[in-house]
Amino acid sequence: MNENDADVQALCKAFGFDLPNKYGSRKDFIVLETARLVLRPLTLDDAEAAYNGWTGDEEVARYVSWLPHHSVGETIEWLKEIEWKRDEAGNILPNGNYIWGFVHKETGELFGSGGLIREDGCQLYQVGYNIMKSHWNHGYTTEAMRTILQYAAENLGLKRVAGGHAQENLASAKVIEKLGFVYDRDDITPHVDGIRFFDSQEYYLDL
């Protein structure tokens, strides 16, 4: 184990997770590593950081279908919804969501989350991601999602995933493009409030 691996191992253990030498070496492995980030499951202890960082930020939620949270309590309920499901042996069970928290290696700061979401009526998992404004335009989302998609192909048996963005969300469009998604169609996406709609572009990616 080199010095960098040791630092990542220490960071993961601080959150109660073990980091194997290479991700995907165990069926129950869910902590991933990129050049600059550690991607780990979120816990209820992350509620305040997530709320103050991105789930409660109206600007972060501007182009997404969910409403910004108005309290830490709302973020706690969201964290319960996306919790990874495991059997008694610790193996991962099929989940409607596979979401990781994005942690910066150098600072240990949790600054966002992302992963795969399967909504009712959808045939494919869809990529989703949100990060703090202070970390925009550094390539972190693309870096994290590329590793998550690799994990999905190698460990979850996924062959194709979907992606999409509001037409006005140029930053998300760049992420989708860099990840290699293929344009499928224009669409109209309803907001979770049931009142608003926004024009969107839909994509797919063969893994």
> How confident is the model at residue 29, as a pLDDT?
53
What does the alpha-carbon distance between residue 40 and residue 75 come to, in Å, rounded to a whole number?
Answer: 17
Domain boundaries of the chain, sorted by first residue: 3-158
> How confident is the model at residue 21, as a pLDDT?
36
Residue 45 φ then ψ, to 5°: -65, -15
Coil, helix or strand for 155?
helix
Give per-residue pLDDT as tens, 60-109: 998 888 889 999 999 999 999 999 888 888 777 888 899 999 999 999 99
Coil, helix or strand for 31?
coil
Superfamily assignment of 3-158 in CATH?
Gcn5-related N-acetyltransferase (GNAT) (3.40.630.30)
What is the percent of the chain where pLDDT is above 90?
67
Which residues are 128's β-sheet partners? Answer: 115
Give per-residue pLDDT as tens, 101-136: 999 999 999 999 999 998 766 789 999 999 999 999
> How confident is the model at residue 2, as a pLDDT?
46
SS3 content of the chain, % helix, strand, coil (to 5): 30, 25, 45
pLDDT category at 22 given cuts 50, 70, 90 is very low
The torsion region of residue 194 among left (phi > 0), alpha (psi -120 to 50) and beta comes to left
